Structure 1
């Protein structure tokens, strides 16, 4: 049990007890090149560094260099972005020095975990020491997901078709990120055009889970989640169009928030809001996420008045609906369900009222509606690729076999089926509105499985009905929330005893109730702290 692992602070582990990960029970060590590396959370930092020269080779460093006296543990690793900003304002170090520290973190960890796509190191160096220290984040470096327009930086969406795409200007959301005082250091990995459930693509490759290298972290904000979980940055940007800011945080033990629809500044080049996708940060602490949220939310008041900075929990006690799995589309892993039941007990111990309730969405119908709706949007991509190459999408070489064959299969979807799919998705708004007449929040799994094996499926496979169902099943509890427009969060409260991988808890609230979720997140963070629980492949244990 983690309470016996000297590598963690005992004061923060007493609350985890049986819910905490036992890394020594990890059954999937066949995927890891060194057993000592996955077991290092059970060792002191000194014993790991003395005995794990092989682990250093896995993370891309020569063993001699990894153990050399010139390598030191990162003294800033425990600081969140808010804390780093405070120390920048106190002039303990400069923005330029912090940029170099973060660059070194990337150089050390990316070879093993593959969370990065494009670096913007020179850009960040030029901006360092020019960002006002009175800006809320005072020049703290950040990584952005490679699916948003940043003026002058490539936006590839990890597709060969997009490799030469360089937006001329920021979207409104990125303007807010920079105005908040962040210094953009680079971009993070996603599946090609966010078209699959595992963060893997033919251009940059697969992103690995720092808790167990044989597993993925879902998608599509996978690279950002891994960068945070590995301690490279305290906060990174993500987008959530079907679960992307909740699924990767669940599998990496960090905090992820999906805001209400149209709550944030626009992330689209034309200034509009996507029907499903929202932008927000992934973080180690709730306060980082809440502060970034307050600085990038829309101030228009349409459709909701601004939330502002939520600074702590409230005394309000909530009525919580604990979702009971109906087994449709996929049966949730017993370990995932048991984790949510234990979190429900925690909620009761905190004074909240909890009762069981069925998942309100027919997952089989949802899977078909989701597939038809998005299949109907692929025609424009087909035309663009074929127009650029004069070849079919399958022959063009610009898209993976999976996405190209998905496009071909979508041609069979009729306009009537597309319209029916959209009608079902639109009806999720009143459906969840009715649910939240009875409950303040729902507590559900983030995903029905802990995490997918890294190469369980790859972009080289041809699209099939079975693969479509595979994706939809893993989005069972997240994708309906995007179309309902509700805010939702993944909170790291449990771990898998079998895999040593975190299991997030999915809290969902009514449209516009983002403040309620942040207040609850603070309360859970106080009751069961996760900030100082680090993944085995993180800079908590690896010198830079």
Structure 2
């Protein structure tokens, strides 16, 4: 069997077992991943920085007894430092090249993983489609006319295309779960504080951003969390310690769980029949596993909640642009995309008092949400309101483009303080993804499950949301649903090896 076929057939755990047994060398595995990366690169455009020389050098010396020895991997071009590698954050602002590794980078390397590339992201991770002026459009391996989601769309595209079996990803408003839902992958957003972002930063977006990975299998998702979780001295907070290993949780029967399902849009926007069909598929799988499922409503997760989230993100973007200007030594608003510039300017005119009051409201709603759903082992809900969109589908057009241009060129950002106009902009930004930001605010863990394929042959995943700190129940449920559904056999039909 060829090295490329081994790479295609196996998840990260399986590839590591082949290395441990001597059936394949890290060098051959890395060479196969690099060859596949280059072969699929014109189709999916998912690489920001190739790390081929680094990967080949590391493959020669990696300790073959490590848990994931020799397994090819990718790191996101956002929010993580790799010594000597430019980080672009999906932007035309001059890149930042760190002289240190993030704690997560060190933990990935200590596990034996071999990064072969950094993966594309939209500018500052703001769009839930991976399209940028700096890098162009990243495409879905299932159908290149459609998005792989965002902001970890490059990571998801590389995994779905069989270039790497798993990849680092991050999530501030759905950026692990949305790409997973679009590309047929498992994507866990861990609890707040489960993994550190230090020393690059202490927290991002007021603690709403978390890091983990996208993967083909539940067991890889769990093993990667085992190998990377845990605070470090510079982290501002930590999630509760797990009762056992996450890998053991993923492998065991979950028993009979009490589940809820929430199917309404917090924005009151349309939901496609395919999304509801995907949710019904997940419910059917859960019932096949012996679990009870009941419908619930969350009326306090509403447009005001989402508006507070949007203002909070805008303030964080404004602060980030200030930091970038200091780093580069000049203003950077001219380097960034129009939509990012509008968001940053809006963030500058929202007062500190408004943001603090908004965060207090978000925290109050989170406390209510966590308290009222604590009786359930998990809550099933959608991730994306529609099947993976056509590339470019979220670009403003017609009147929307005119309004964005006017806000930008005439510096009319102050108009966004008017609730109807902010609501209109929010709808245009979030009509594809109504739900994921809820868990970024609440800090709860949530896992994307690839339960459904549309009539057009596109993946459409849903999410299971857990209690704070309880990734173990989610992974156990996900492992069971994976076995029942057989989703591991579903693969994107892009350059299938002979």
The separation in 1 between residues aligned to 2:70 and 2:117, in whole angstroms, is 14
Equivalent-residue separation in structure 2 for 1:232 and 1:392 (angstroms): 34
Structure 2 counterparts to residues 411-450 of structure 1, below 5 A: 411-450=348-387
In the other structure, the counterpart of 1:262 is 193
Aligned to 2:447: 489
Q: Distance in 2 between matches of 1:102 and 1:257?
A: 24
Q: Give the distance between the partners of 2:301 and 2:3, measured in 1 at CA.
A: 53
Offset from partner CA, 1:264-318 (integer Å, 9 cap, x none)? 2335514557611111111111111111110000067944114424231324211
For 2:431 and 2:394, locate their aligned partners in 1 and report how far apart those are by CA, in whole Å.
Answer: 14
Partner of 2:146: 215
Aligned to 1:372: 311
Unaligned regions of 5+ residues in structure 1, if any?
Answer: 1-70
SS at match of 1:456: coil
Q: CA deviation at 1:419?
A: 2.3
Q: What SS is found at the alignment partner of 2:284?
A: helix
Retained in 1: the 8 A contact 2:128–2:178?
A: no
Is the 8 Å Cα contact of residues 3 and 32 (structure 2) preserved in structure 1? no
CA separation of 1:327/1:186 partners in 2, compared to 1, >3 Å: closer, same or farther?
closer
Deviations 1:145-193 (A, max 9, x none): 1111111111110111142x10111111111111111011110011001
Alignment pair present for 1:304 and 2:236: no
SS in 2 for 1:411: helix
Partners of 1:247 and 1:303 in 2: CA distance: 23
- Find the aligned partners of 1:268 and 1:155 in 2 and give their Cα distance: 15
Shift of 1:327: 6.6
CA contact (8 A) 1:189 1:224 kept: yes
- Residue 347 of structure 1 aligns with which residue? 286
Shift of 1:473: 3.5
Q: Decide whether the 8 Å contact of 1:250 with 1:505 is kept in 2.
A: yes
Q: Could you say if the C-alpha distance between residues 268 and 219 of structure 1 is closer, same or farther in structure 2, counting changes exceeding 3 Å? A: farther
- The answer as to whether partners of 1:322 and 1:444 remain within 8 angstroms in 2 is yes
Indicate the RMSD between aligned Cα atoms, in angstroms.
2.3
Does residue 160 in structure 1 map to residue 92 in structure 2? yes
Matched, 1:90 2:15: no
Deviation at 1:223, TM superposition (A): 0.5
Verify the 8 A CA contact 2:181 2:459 in the aligned structure 1.
yes
Considering Cα pairs closer than 8 Å and 6+ residues apart, tell me whether 1 or 2 has the greater RCO: 1
| Aligned position for 1:288 | 220
Shift of residue 326, structure 1, vs aligned partner: 4.9
1-side partners of 2:373 and 2:4: how far apart?
47
1:381 positional shift: 3.8
Q: Distance in 2 between matches of 1:268 and 1:356?
A: 42
The equivalent of 1:504 in structure 2 is: 461
CA distance in 1, matches of 2:58, 2:449: 33
Partner of 1:516: 473
Give me the whole-angstrom Cα distance separating, in 2, the residues matched to 1:408 and 1:132.
Answer: 49
> Secondary structure at 2:367's aligned position in 1?
helix
Query: How far 1:332 sits from its partner (Å)?
Result: 1.3
Contact persistence 1:200–1:458 (CA under 8 A):
no
SS of the aligned residue for 1:452 comes to coil
Q: Which residue of 2 aligns with 1:528?
A: 485
Shift in CA distance, 188/437, structure 1 to aligned 2, threshold 3 Å: same
Find the counterpart in structure 1 of residue 413 from structure 2.
none
* TM-score calculated relative to the size of structure 1: 0.81
Check the 8 A contact 2:48/2:120 in 1, yes or no: yes
Q: Check the 8 A contact 2:89/2:123 in 1, yes or no.
A: yes
Asked if 2 retains the 8 angstrom alpha-carbon contact of 1:320 and 1:441, the reply is yes
Q: Distance between the aligned counterparts of 1:362 and 1:231, measured in 2?
A: 37
Structure-1 separation of matches of 2:67 and 2:332: 49
Equivalent-residue separation in structure 2 for 1:317 and 1:299 (angstroms): 32
Q: CA deviation at 1:475?
A: 3.5
1:77 aligns with 2:8: yes
Partners in 2 of 1:75 and 1:95 — Cα distance? 12
| 1:81-480 equivalent positions in 2, closer than 5 A | 81-147=12-78, 148-163=80-95, 165-271=96-202, 275-298=207-230, 302-306=238-242, 307-311=244-248, 312-326=251-265, 328-384=267-323, 388=328, 393=333, 396=334, 398-458=335-395, 462=404, 465=422, 466-480=424-438
Give the structure 2 partner of residue 28 of structure 1. Answer: none
Q: CA deviation at 1:478?
A: 0.6
Q: Aligned equivalents of 1:156 and 1:224: distance in 2?
A: 15
Write the distance in 2 (CA, Å) between the matches of 1:372 and 1:408. 11
Match of 2:417 in 1: none
Higher deviation after alignment, 413-422 or 175-184: 413-422
Q: 1:115–1:189: 8 Å Cα contact kept in structure 2? A: yes
CA–CA distance in 2 between the matches of 1:314 and 1:265?
A: 29
How much does 1:411 deviate?
3.3
1:330–1:168 Cα change, 3 Å: same
